Chain A
């Protein structure tokens, strides 16, 4: 007998139970080997197999196992599209937040700007302050302000510093490292400037989205910003990562004695805790060429280790192409709900 499954890019395939079982085993072992963490137990793999082979189109958790669902970007995706999965209904960001609160049932929301990085917010901070004030008058749920640290915007041609890629290719390693260190200082300063201004008008918290997307220096800048914001304001901080492994583009940057390059989710969260992060969002990227049984087992393995290592709530990132979700703009709900259930009941996350 064959069961429906999908590839990581969302394409529908069929697999036998034996194939699914082997995929799950291979996926969890891949994560275990890379992260030097335990693979899923036989029972957990069996449970995942049952989820994958469930004949229902969509699945859900058992009553009592419900988790918190926080949402990043969200409001931007209703109005427009900044590169992934916007639906083009012209509503204000305020309306977008209320739609998520009152129609979609999310537990928190996020206000973000269409050019979803921190650096572009700086010149329009007054606009964002006013929007935060209005949102806070009407929203009942917790609303964070979110953006990407995006260290890449501090490199030439968008920013004042040399592009490390160009420096590496020119053989100038010292120049590449210096560029990252200087960019990190600026990014730290900008993130603090923006969030302190928003705190002044009553913003509840910040979501640093896709932290470390530009490597370990990007991670460092965000940790430093977190530390300063937690020290000087009452903002709550959510930190969502960009990949399961921090790319070592610098390689030597440390935060409180811990080298940041190469960290996996169970290690990333401990560094985030030291900076003062309140909620941590690990990311595991979906391999678009592998089947979702493999991808899901792999993602759950990494996240489970993160949950067990953590002292703070873990809200696993489960958007397009991450956390066991297919890499497709409109991912099929059959796989999304399976991943949701797996993360809630096997990885035991505190939220999505």
Chain B
């Protein structure tokens, strides 16, 4: 389908690309206009959200990982995406509105006080559509479990920076099983590796913050 915009004919892919580019450029005005154009062009609002806006956030995550964009810019992107999403959701029937991707409980295990990386992961997960509950750092394992139960977590993620504290990740997974939780588990941090994740029975491992988002999405079946 094509529409005439300002005398030029634009196909659906082009309309979606315009939305995507505007969000990547953090241009709120251009984003709103691009959304209006896409709607006028007959593109479904849900498709704009799920394809253009989500693709843009993935690209933004990649740019962050490569050091081309920074955390405050991620927050700006999240903010204008939220506005665009709200605008688009007005056109979507209540029973078809996009849901949150999932609920994620994250923290650094007890005995480990590092939380810079964990904080970045939590922020990226939130802006990418997860409900995030950050239980902090040096967190008793029971706190992870209690929070996971309280919010009905889809994923519990545990960070550990040191070889001495990563055993906490193993103990957490054992505790979650013992308490009967069936949520997925993810681990990360400087010391843990994919093989460690496999060894302790974690469902996933992420090398960095951007990968954590992609892996989390896969765990909840979002991609």
Which residues of A are in contact with B by a Cβ distance under 8 Å? 7-9, 11, 34, 81, 83-85, 152, 158, 163-166, 168-169, 171, 173, 176-177, 213-216, 245-252, 261-264, 287-289, 321, 327, 329
Contact = CB atoms under 8 A, between A and B. Distances in A.
B120 A289 contact: no
Interface of B: 64, 66-73, 75-76, 79, 113-116, 118-120, 122-123, 126, 132, 134, 161-165, 190-191, 193-196, 207
Contact of B163 (A34, A83, A252): A83
Contacts of B68: 262
B44 to A, nearest CB: 29
Given A81-B164, A287-B207, A288-B193, A165 B72 contact: no
Nearest to B194: A289
B67 A250 contact: no
B67 A327 contact: no
A301 B207 CA distance: 21
A23 to B, nearest CB: 17
A8 B191 CA distance: 11
A262 B66 CA distance: 8
Contact of A215 (B116, B191, B194, B195): B116
A246 B67 contact: yes
A251 B165 contact: no
Contacts of B196: 9
A165 B67 contact: no
A53 B132 CA distance: 46
A173 B79 CA distance: 11
A171 B132 CA distance: 13
Given A158-B113, A245-B66, 17 more contacts: A8-B193, A9-B193, A9-B195, A34-B67, A83-B163, A165-B115, A168-B75, A169-B126, A176-B71, A213-B116, A249-B71, A288-B195, A288-B207, A289-B194, A289-B207, A327-B193, A329-B163
Contacts of B194: 9, 288-289
Contacts of B163: 83-85, 329
Contact of B122 (A165, A213, A327): A165
A289 B195 CA distance: 8
Contacts of B71: 168, 176, 215, 247-251
B75 A163 contact: no
A262 B161 contact: no
A169 B132 contact: yes
A168 B70 contact: no
